């Protein structure tokens, strides 16, 4: 339902159309991928810094990056879920 001016008949407030199911799903997917991607990147950076500060043992380097990247990805997914389910 749109609101029109009583004097001139111009439309003042346009009716808002809800997004389709496909558009909502696409936005969810984009948000999820963005948050998990940035979380993974932040996890890699923190893993590298943590490895550099703590051990500097080359055998631990890959393990540290993988673990921190997976933790960052999981935190990104949780943040995307929380943003999607709040008002």
Q: Would you say residue 58 lies in a domain? A: yes
pLDDT for the residue numbered 73: 95
Q: How far apart are CA 31 and CA 8, in angstroms?
A: 43
pLDDT for the residue numbered 74: 96
Q: Would you say residue 8 lies in a domain? A: no
pLDDT for the residue numbered 5: 83
Q: Would you say residue 39 lies in a domain? A: yes
- Domain range for 51 is 19-84
Q: Would you say residue 71 lies in a domain? A: yes
Q: Would you say residue 6 lies in a domain? A: no
Averages of pLDDT over each 10 residues, the chain, 87 residues: 79 76 90 95 93 86 92 94 81
pLDDT for the residue numbered 49: 92
pLDDT for the residue numbered 78: 94
pLDDT for the residue numbered 80: 92
Number of domains in the chain: 1
pLDDT tens for 65-86 read 999 999 999 999 999 999 888 7
Q: Would you say residue 78 lies in a domain? A: yes
pLDDT for the residue numbered 58: 85
Those residues whose C-beta lies under 8 Å from the C-beta of residue 19, and which sit 6 or more positions away, are: 27
Q: Would you say residue 2 lies in a domain? A: no
Q: Would you say residue 40 lies in a domain? A: yes
């Amino acid at each position: 339902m749109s609101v029109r001016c009583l004097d001139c008949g111009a439309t003042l407030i346009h009716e808002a159309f809800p997004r389709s199911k496909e558009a909502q799903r696409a936005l969810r997917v984009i948000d999820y991928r963005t948050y998990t991607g940035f979380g993974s990147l932040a996890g890699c950076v923190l893993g590298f810094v943590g490895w550099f500060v703590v051990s500097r043992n080359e055998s631990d380097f890959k393990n540290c990056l993988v673990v921190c990247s997976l933790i960052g990805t999981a935190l990104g997914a949780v943040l995307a879920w929380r943003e999607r389910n709040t008002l």
